[in-house]
Each structure stands twice: as C-alpha cells, then as structure tokens.
A and B are shown apart, each in its own frame.
Chain A
Amino acid sequence: MPSETEQKDRANWLGILARARRADIEAVWPAHADPLEFEWLRKPQPGLVMVRGRAGGTGNAFNLGEMTVTRCALRLADGTVGQGYVQGRDRKHSELAARLDALLQLEAHRDGLLAQVIEPLRRTEEERRLERSRKAASTKVEFFTLVRGANPT
C-alpha cells in the first residue's frame, strides 16, 4: 500500500490536473513524456458525477447537481497504472492527465515533473482564481440601512 504522504501527494497532483485546462497542460507538456508506451485499461469515457454539498460544513449532505467528468485509466509496461479524471468532455485532456499521473508515480520522473508541470499548473490555477475573485470583489456593493437619526456604525 502507498504511504499516507504518497497518497496525499498523488491526490494533490490529480486535483491540479483535473482542474487545469487542456491548453495549459499542453503548454507545459514535457518532451520526454512522448512517446510513452502504454495500454488502455479503460478508454476515455465521459460521464456524470453527482456533486454533493454540505451547508456551512455542518449541515446534512445534499445533492448539489451533476457535473460532466471524463475518466480513463492506462497501464505502463512496468504495470504502473495512471488515472485521469478531468472536468468536461475532453477525452484528450483525461488522457494527458492519466499519462502524467503514471509518470509522476515513477521516482525517476517525479521531482522533475512536479517542478516542470504541476507547479506551473498550480500557479496558473491560483492566478485564475485570484483574478476571478478580484473581478467579483470589484462589483461588491455595500448595503446599509438609513435609520432615522444616525447611520449605524
């Protein structure tokens, strides 16, 4: 069994690959990841996943809605299995994620790929999120109530 930290690391990079856009992954695609010999265990297949939510972190879980997810799994010659679960219906995107996942599990490639691929993708994602929250913040409206006599502090 993989150790807990290994599992956490893997969950972390799988999450980054899942949220990244395909164009972003292709922009940082490492040359040595091509060509890669692999066999499909599960060819890319789009499907629906029920997203569940919980109000305030304490309420009961409820079904928020369904989202489209494309998944695939492949096996390298040495038996390493790469999984790709990505948002949307882009089959190629899930394939790229699965290939990177397989390579990231190999000690020989891990550190290089983390620095060259995963870290830039994480930064892009963070910038995109900040950008969006800035845009949202700039439209923020402060409401206050006019109380006869004085404004509430």
Chain B
Amino acid sequence: MSAMSQAPKLLAGFADPVFDAQAVFRTLMSAIAYPGRVFTLEREVEVPAPLSLSATALCLTLADFETPVWLDGKAASPEALAHLRFHCDAPIVGNPEMARFALIADAEKMPRLIEFNQGVDQYPDRSTTLIIQVPSLTEGAEKTWTGPGIKGSIAPRIAGLPAWFWDEWALNRELYPTGVDVIFATGNAIVGMPRSIKVER
C-alpha cells in the first residue's frame, strides 16, 4: 500500500465546477435577497462527514485561496479539512476573528457572534459569513423576521440554535453597517439571514 492512502479518502468536488458553482451562487444570492425563505440547491456533490450537502456546496462555491475559513470542533473532521484544502485551496484558521467564512456543524456550542470578524466601517464586507448547519429549517421555534427583502414579515422555524442566539443577533444588528451575516444550512436547503434583518425575540 502506498503512503498516500493513509490520509483521509479524498472526495470529488463539483462534477462541472463552473456551472455548478454558478448555480449554487445564484441560489445563494436569492437566499440572501429573500431572507427567511427556504431555497434548495439542486446539485449533486460528494459530501465529507459531518457536513451537509448544502454546506459543502457553499464552501466549494465561496471559499478559495483568498478566504480564510474557520471550522468548529465538530466540522473540522479530517475528511472535511482535506476536502476544503484540496478543492478550495482555502487557508484554515484557528481564530474565528481571522475568518472570512465560518463553518459551524455544532450550533449548540458555537462561539458568540461577537467573536467573529465584524468588519470595519470602511469595509463592512470584510466581516465573517457564518454557515451554520442546523438540524432543521422548518421544525424549530417560530420567530418573526422583518427587514429588507421581506414583504411584511416572515416566520422561519430554525431549529438547534443556542438559547442566547437571538439576543446576540439583536446586538449584531445594532452594529450595522458592520456585523456578521448568517446562512443556515441543512440537507440540500439553505436560509439566508443578512445583518439587516430584525428578529422578534
């Protein structure tokens, strides 16, 4: 046996990198433009444990050698790390403050939102975008969201978030124009929650 095969088994990326990434990016733009709506990514891709299809596809689409990625303890499995290094060439950082993207597989134990990069007034786009893997997008406690992109209000039911999450989100919103953006992911579905969204506690 060769020495290489002792490393975690590498998985394939997008079958068609250009069109698959474009399709995922298009869906993600819609998800950010219409916060709270559930969008599904109609693409097939091999998924390293413990990531979901949507989280994997988002990483393949968004991350590259210029975007440091932070993974929480659960997401940072050898398979997932090898996958991100091989397909995205993304630097993996140990400090959430340094990250452009954060991949969170265990939402219950995630760091506080303020520990991620908030961006600065001149460059609010430099804040971290959080990809949070949750058990369900439709079976959690109902919350009322309002803000740009939502006509009236919408009531998503994101499950599996820590108890402090929505209080922290209110603080995050007060930092506007800085602050983090969040994408919830499960299975092949995503829900976008940009920093402009107000959520009733």
Contacts and interface: CB of A to CB of B under 8 A. Distances in A.
B1 interface: yes
Contacts of A45: 17
B9 A1 contact: no
A105 B10 CA distance: 16
Contacts, number: 43
B122 interface: no
Contacts of A81: 4, 10
**What's the interface size class on B, roughly?**
10 to 19
B11 A6 contact: no
Interface stretch (A36-44, A51-59, A87-95, A111-119): A36-44
B194 interface: no
Interface string B29-56: 0000000000000000000000000000
A80 interface: yes
A81 B6 CA distance: 11
B4 A78 contact: no
A150 B11 CA distance: 74
A19 interface: no
Contact of A41 (B1, B3, B5, B13): B13
B2 A41 contact: no
A106 to B, nearest CB: 6
A65 interface: no
B12 interface: yes
Contacts of A107: 1-2
B65 interface: no
Contacts of B13: 41-42
Interface string A71-82: 001010011110
A2 interface: yes
A106 B2 contact: yes
Contacts of B4: 2, 79-81, 105
A39 to B, nearest CB: 6
Interface string A1-32: 11100100000000000000000000000000
B165 interface: no
Given A1-B3, A79-B9, A41 B86 contact: yes
Q: In the complex, which of the residues B2, B3, B15 has the most CB atoms of chain A within 10 Å of its own CB atom?
A: B2
B1 A42 contact: no
Nearest to B18: A45
B9 A41 contact: no
Contact of A105 (B2, B11, B17): B2
Contacts of A2: 2-4
Interface in B91-122: none
7 contacts: A2-B3, A6-B3, A42-B87, A45-B17, A75-B10, A79-B10, A80-B5
